[in-house]
Chain A
Amino acid sequence: MIAQDIPAPVFRSFRDPSGSVIRLSGRILRAVRSEAVADLEAFLATHTARTAMDCGKMVASVRVPAPALAGADYVLEHEPIPFPSYPFEWSAEMLFAAGALTIELAHGALEEGFGLKDATPYNVLFRGGQPVFVDVLSFEQRHPLDRNWMAYAQFIQTFVLPLIANRAFGLPLGSVFSGSREGIDPEAMYRLAGPLRRLTPSFLSLVSLPKWMAGKADDAALYKPTPAMSAEQAHFIVKGLLTSCGNRLAAVKPGETGGDSSWSGYLAHKSLYTPGQLARKEAFVSEAMELCRPKKLLDVGANEGYFSRLAAMQGASVVAIDSDPVVAGAIWRMASKEQLDILPLVVDLTRPTPAIGWRNQECLGFLDRATTHFDMVLMLAVLHHMMVTERIPMEDLLALTAELTRNYALIEFVAPEDPMFQRIVRGRQKLYSHLTQQRFEAAAAPHFELVRSVRIDGLHRWLYLFRRRHAAN
């Protein structure tokens, strides 16, 4: 039994009147209101739902006995997704993949008499690079004559318009979704677009016409359902609406090569490493993986995921963070193509995602999710960027690293003499003259014990494998 032996719920969702998700001591439970049980059970029995669960596109869900939980008679337990993430941490590629999955499932459900009542990226989480639809209560039986898809506007505003804004205006998804849960509305897009762009086909139908029509939609009677003439016609119309949304999404699919940024192609073309030095670094990381055998690894400043890939290939479940959405997108494409367990997120560790939403509890902050989640943290050639660009003290960075890992940390120390360090210092050498290798080791000592270290020949760079000191020790 659940209710009797577990303390009060940490958080319960509230938007969907059919039920709510409850996070309880690491378990994900969904309390379902009695009125919605029949629809839910019927949906879970559909070919669409069973196939999606079998291939991991929909979260696995089983009914569990919990008579007193949140006043609900019916409780589902969902398979936990290892590391929850939110649209404001996704690259454009991930938002596209989440939208494509949403439309695919909506099409399948429609053929079996079900409709998708909300179409938001918050229905989707990622297991590694694979999108997983997690809100099984989003499906309900359709009235056979219902010719509307009420979630049409939501799909456009939370999937299609953010991708258009990202492509056309370079608007980061982080800005779009951290400011509004519902993405971008046509009015906001209209203001961003110039007079000519407003008349291009995609803007005309998705932005300008809805914006011009908005003033006519004040009459509440407009929202009164108007049934189709037949069930066959209603099905045809809703299928057409879903197809249209799918086509709109496909038109803004991020390119196969991604965009270009100051961090893309860094390791291959812009770093200092000679092939021999890179091989030495790779060997050190690889040996550390063999020794530590991390199950959950955080790669900070992952760039295009060279070392995330190495860790994933050695069995780690990797969360790769970088502040650059372009390189995060490149990691996602690589992880998807090679089916590697890597979740790339657009997160800057010096400004980690805050907790947002109602009471700051709907979406957990990055550090809330990450602290002690990992048994190894990689910080390769990133510490000096955080020290110089963001002016975070080295001692604080090492303290945070110790909070993030339960066991190991692999850190590359780049000394101020290093040309790349010199490049980002831009004449402020005096500020960093104290950052010696000895100072770094002394700063790490309260948190970590040294396992092994090596200097990369010919560079002012050292690799350290640390084991975290535990309070009990």
Chain B
Amino acid sequence: MITNSNSKSFFRTLAHVFLLFVPLILASPAKGYGYADPGTGAFLYQAAYAAFLGATFYLRKVLNRFWGKRK
């Protein structure tokens, strides 16, 4: 059962998380003068590899937390 105080705490946490990301999201992403051709197939390969690395990042965090708790 979600109490009123629990609910407030949940939304406060959510707001904190949102506020944490806002500056990153709004930080001028268009700035930059990169002009190298990103390629076609190589770009897709890079994107797939980047996605894999991104998943690894979170997996590593989970594992670190798990092993950290064991310690």
Residue pair A185, B39 in contact (C-beta under 8 Å): yes
Instruction: Write the B27-41 contact mask toward A (1 if CB under 8 angstroms, else 0).
Output: 111011111111111
Q: Is B10 an interface residue (CB 8 A)?
A: no
Residue pair A153, B46 in contact (C-beta under 8 Å): yes
Residue pair A120, B57 in contact (C-beta under 8 Å): no
A225 to B32, CA, bound (A): 12
Of listed A119, A151, A182, A217, residue having the most chain B CB within 10 A: A217
Residues of chain A contacted by B34 (CB below 8 angstroms): 115, 117-118, 140, 150-151
Closest residue to A214 on the B side, CB-wise? B41
Residue pair A140, B32 in contact (C-beta under 8 Å): yes
Contact of B29 among A120, A146, A218 (CB under 8 A): A146
Closest residue to A218 on the B side, CB-wise? B40
Contact flag A212-B41 (CB < 8 Å), given A143-B29, A229-B54, A233-B57: yes
Count residues of B near A (Cβ-Cβ below 8 Å): 30
Residues of chain B contacted by A16 (CB below 8 angstroms): 33, 35
Interchain nearest-CB distance for A228 vs B (Å): 6
A115 to B31, CA, bound (A): 12
Residue pair A150, B36 in contact (C-beta under 8 Å): yes
A145 to B27, CA, bound (A): 9
Contact of A141 among B31, B38, B50 (CB under 8 A): B31
A212 to B44, CA, bound (A): 10
Residues of chain A contacted by B44 (CB below 8 angstroms): 210, 213-214, 216-217, 222
Instruction: Write the B15-34 contact mask toward A (1 if CB under 8 angstroms, else 0).
Output: 00000010011011101111
Q: Is A15 an interface residue (CB 8 A)?
A: yes
Contact flag A118-B36 (CB < 8 Å), given A186-B42, A210-B45, A241-B50: yes
Closest residue to A235 on the B side, CB-wise? B57
Interchain nearest-CB distance for A154 vs B (Å): 4
Instruction: Write the A331-346 contact mask toward B (1 if CB under 8 angstroms, else 0).
Output: 0000000000000000
Show the binding face of A for B, using Cβ within 8 Å.
15-18, 35-36, 115, 117-120, 140-141, 143-154, 156-157, 182, 185-187, 205, 209-218, 222-223, 225, 227-233, 236-237, 240-241, 244
Complex A-B: 11 CB contacts under 8 Å: A15-B35, A115-B34, A117-B35, A144-B24, A146-B29, A148-B47, A157-B39, A185-B39, A210-B40, A222-B44, A233-B57
Per CB-CB distance, the 8 closest pairs between chain A and chain B, nearest first, are: A153-B39, A210-B41, A214-B41, A153-B42, A117-B34, A217-B40, A213-B41, A240-B53
Excluding A145-B29, A216-B44, A237-B57, 17 further A-B contacts by CB distance (< 8 Å) are: A117-B36, A118-B36, A141-B31, A143-B31, A145-B27, A147-B50, A148-B47, A150-B34, A150-B36, A152-B38, A214-B44, A229-B54, A236-B54, A237-B53, A240-B49, A240-B56, A241-B46
